[in-house]
Structure 1
């Protein structure tokens, strides 16, 4: 195949769209507002073109666009594909809330790397103050970022972004997962960990890190301190590095 043909094939990649409704073969469905806007105004797609739909329940549907207007798009699912790109390792990230767009970045890239759940955490040194309507809007924004990242990366399940809670509340949750805390002075590395039998729950602090009291609380709740190399990582780098290492050691990159 010539280089030009390869480029054309790459350019014809079918858009992967989240549609939070039941999908039935050969039955017309109206896309949600976000999906319709993306298809009609951003991608400028027309009748007869194809999209790939998923509703977070597994698999995806190849669908043909039936009609397009400025405000509405209808499609007809024509084929179901039993496709799964999920990691065999379930990972729940507890992420200290960071300032600016750092939290958005962490959520987006963590979803691309296969994280199963994310709980944003308020910690002692968290520099972000959220409550009431502002908290609800931020939570909704983070879930939309997770949806968009799933669409971009070809996932057919949506990472659950839990309502932000305090670090103490998260630590007190009962879990059989392997519990890990990232700490630059830890004695353990991912290579020394046992094979997780019930997934992994790991904790990353905000920009200012954890206090000594918080670190003691994590230890009291059965979290194991680990480090990723000799350097201190920024909060937006830490989660992604740990996720990559976990996937390499135990997940979809493990040999």
Structure 2
């Protein structure tokens, strides 16, 4: 299998393009030469609505800081999960958030909404939030290159839980499906019992220390049903991945 690269550009068989900076840098690190073949994807398939696939490409020129390629055949290839799962979560701190985004992307998450709640350790806003978002989107695109996905998960701007429940939730796609809340409350139904169909899911998970009772109550007032993952208490970055591994097939 040839090396895969994400190119945020219009792609069309037969056209010649210069690779984006990050992809060009990776090609140079791999010491590829003119004539070598690579695979490119841009998350938009062949441009038709709902299409999903990738393009063959041949390196034609290696410059000091740029790389030119000619696009070859397009192959329609579906590698997305069978159901759309949207993760809404209190951000874990430091490199744990990077790790979570990487693994959630590999497991097929459709979108990620990072949140700040009362117990959140990681808090960002303004320029720092913008830089974090750009970094996380880079982590997701690199994970897609590695795992074979041709569609990038949508990663939203950081928001507070309170603001998101009041305003952001109204912008959730109509096909976001059943709303579930990962909870440690006694008597909460197991995850599998709360899922009645194979439709889309939006699930809310807390940061280190979880959501407080008031935040859980606010989420349930917005239609989130509490569910349990079992008797053990999982880390903030582990619980969402367990949901994805069970459901995003």
TM-score over 0.5 (shorter chain): yes
- Structure 1: gaps (5+ residues): 1-12
Q: Which residue of 2 aligns with 1:182?
A: 182
Mapped to 2, the partners of 1:131 and 1:62 lie a distance apart of 40
1:28 maps onto 2:29 in alignment: no
1:162 maps onto 2:156 in alignment: yes
Aligned partners of 1:178 and 1:196 also within 8 Å: no
**Number of paired residues?**
234
CA displacement at 1:132 relative to structure 2: 1.6
CA displacement at 1:135 relative to structure 2: 1.2
CA displacement at 1:17 relative to structure 2: 0.7
CA displacement at 1:184 relative to structure 2: 2.7
CA displacement at 1:196 relative to structure 2: 4.6
Please state whether the residue corresponding to 1:45 is helix, strand or coil: coil
Q: Which residue of 1 aligns with 2:134?
A: 140
Q: Which residue of 1 aligns with 2:228?
A: 227
Mapped to 1, the partners of 2:198 and 2:107 lie a distance apart of 18
Mapped to 2, the partners of 1:48 and 1:62 lie a distance apart of 12
Q: Which residue of 1 aligns with 2:49?
A: none
Q: Which residue of 2 aligns with 1:76?
A: 70
Q: Which residue of 2 aligns with 1:213?
A: 214
TM-score (norm 2): 0.90
Q: CA RMSD in A?
A: 1.3
Aligned partners of 1:189 and 1:227 also within 8 Å: yes
Q: Report 1:58-73 matches (<5 A).
A: 58-73=52-67
Please state whether the residue corresponding to 1:77 is helix, strand or coil: strand
1:49 maps onto 2:36 in alignment: yes
Q: Which residue of 2 aligns with 1:86?
A: 80
Q: Which residue of 1 aligns with 2:197?
A: 195
Q: Which residue of 2 aligns with 1:113?
A: 107
Mapped to 2, the partners of 1:196 and 1:124 lie a distance apart of 33
Aligned partners of 2:125 and 2:158 also within 8 Å: no
Deviations 1:41-85 (A, max 9, x none): 2x1111111111001112100111111123011111111101110
Q: Which residue of 2 aligns with 1:19?
A: 7
Mapped to 2, the partners of 1:213 and 1:127 lie a distance apart of 18
Please state whether the residue corresponding to 2:112 is helix, strand or coil: strand
- Structure 2: gaps (5+ residues): 45-51
